[in-house]
């Protein structure tokens, strides 16, 4: 996706703005955007070499001072989900989102959701857990379709998932996971075409290496829908997991994120291979503090003391 498309979309968003000033509450939230109590942990279940239990994971988060989690799971974690959700509540850890991958593997003809998706929905309902479904699709979901056809198919799918989510008190957020669906401009088109007013966007630095140059324009386009931004060290143009503060671009991206007025959640990821996820989170928090010091974010830094 080139810069021209994002720039044009950004102009349309600005023309459609109502011109009202930020509320004092929104300004205060933006001032504390990078505060420790606004962090959520992401990608800490399948990538943890320690294979922590739900109790051990909750205690780890408590010790780190992280009070929110987005639950990234695999099929092997499905039998333990009810325990996981109840344990998070026991330790007052808010579940801000859950991975909701539409694999394309169907149990019946013309069925969108598979057994894993249905298990997630049933467990959320059973445990009375209110959260965002972080929805993404594989590239084969759109194989052979024009852009118009892709948007139409995506809208049909999102409307169905949205209704299933609403039935149990949950919401939907589109998750940029590579390919056509991973382009924020396409996600905005899907949301607008759906006519749904409460579909959100989650933006991941680690899936946006090829979008660094357009990041400012991406924020202008996505900000009305953006609820979470997951951070990563940014270097090169290909997918890469890098500790915060060790890349070339994340400092400027964080400055743009703050300047945009965004006041949603900030994700710290534990996405590495075969490492103790506690060490990965600690490393990223240390890197974030270093970046905040360079940005002069004194108020936010005080929350880490």
What would the mean pLDDT of 73-100 be, rounded to a whole number? 97
What would the mean pLDDT of 265-280 be, rounded to a whole number? 96
- Structure confidence at residue 19 (pLDDT): 47
Of the chain, the percentage scoring pLDDT greater than 70 comes to 89
In a domain, 12, yes or no: no
DSSP 278: H
In a domain, 192, yes or no: yes
Instruction: For residues 75 and 116, give the distance between their C-alpha atoms in angstroms, rounded to a whole number.
Output: 6
Structure tokens belonging to residue 58:
């909750």
**Range name among 11-20, 67-76, 144-153, 224-233 with the lowest pLDDT average:** 11-20
pLDDT per position as a tens digit, 112-167: 999 999 999 999 999 999 999 999 999 999 999 999 999 999 999 999 999 999 99
Q: What's the predicted TM-score (pTM) here?
A: 0.90
What are the angstrom distances between the C-alpha of 150 and each of 2, 20, 138, 154? Answer: 19, 35, 12, 6
Instruction: For residues 233 and 247, give the distance between their C-alpha atoms in angstroms, rounded to a whole number.
Output: 5
In a domain, 101, yes or no: yes
- Structure confidence at residue 20 (pLDDT): 47
Nearest Cα neighbor of 173 from 219, 206, 131 is 131
- The answer to whether 70 and 40 are in contact (CB under 8 A) is yes
In a domain, 9, yes or no: no
Q: How confident is the model at residue 12 (pLDDT cuts 50, 70, 90)?
A: low
Q: How confident is the model at residue 221 (pLDDT cuts 50, 70, 90)?
A: very high
| CATH number, residue 285 | 3.20.20.150
Structurally, the chain folds into a number of domains equal to 1
What are the angstrom distances between the C-alpha of 245 and each of 100, 169, 240, 303? Answer: 29, 38, 14, 19
Question: Length of the chain, please?
Answer: 305
Structural domain including 147 reads 32-302
In a domain, 139, yes or no: yes
């Amino acid at each position: 996706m080139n810069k021209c498309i994002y720039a044009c979309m950004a102009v349309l968003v600005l023309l459609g703005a109502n011109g009202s000033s930020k509320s004092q509450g929104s300004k205060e939230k933006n001032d504390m955007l990078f505060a420790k109590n606004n962090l959520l942990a992401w990608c800490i279940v399948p990538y943890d070499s320690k294979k922590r239990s739900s109790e051990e994971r909750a205690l780890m988060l408590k010790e780190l001072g992280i009070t929110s989690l987005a639950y990234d799971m695999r099929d092997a974690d499905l039998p333990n989900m009810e325990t996981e959700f109840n344990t998070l509540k026991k330790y007052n850890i808010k579940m801000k989102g859950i991975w909701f991958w539409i694999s394309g593997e169907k149990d019946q003809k013309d069925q969108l959701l598979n057994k894993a998706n249905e298990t997630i929905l049933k467990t959320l309902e059973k445990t009375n857990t209110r959260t965002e479904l972080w929805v993404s699709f594989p590239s084969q979901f759109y194989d052979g379709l024009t852009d118009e056809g892709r948007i139409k198919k995506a809208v049909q799918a999102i409307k169905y998932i949205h209704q299933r989510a609403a039935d149990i008190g949950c919401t939907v957020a589109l998750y940029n996971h590579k390919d056509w669906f991973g382009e924020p401009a396409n996600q905005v088109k899907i949301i607008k075409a759906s006519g749904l007013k409460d579909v959100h966007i989650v933006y991941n630095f680690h899936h946006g290496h090829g979008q660094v140059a357009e990041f400012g324009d991406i924020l202008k386009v996505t900000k009305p829908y953006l609820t979470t931004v997951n951070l990563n060290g940014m270097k090169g143009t290909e997918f890469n997991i890098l500790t915060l503060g060790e890349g070339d671009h994340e400092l400027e991206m964080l400055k743009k994120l703050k300047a945009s007025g965004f006041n949603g959640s900030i994700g710290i990821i534990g996405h590495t291979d075969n490492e103790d996820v506690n060490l990965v989170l600690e490393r990223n928090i240390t890197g974030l503090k270093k970046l905040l010091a360079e940005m002069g974010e004194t108020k936010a830094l005080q929350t880490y003391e």
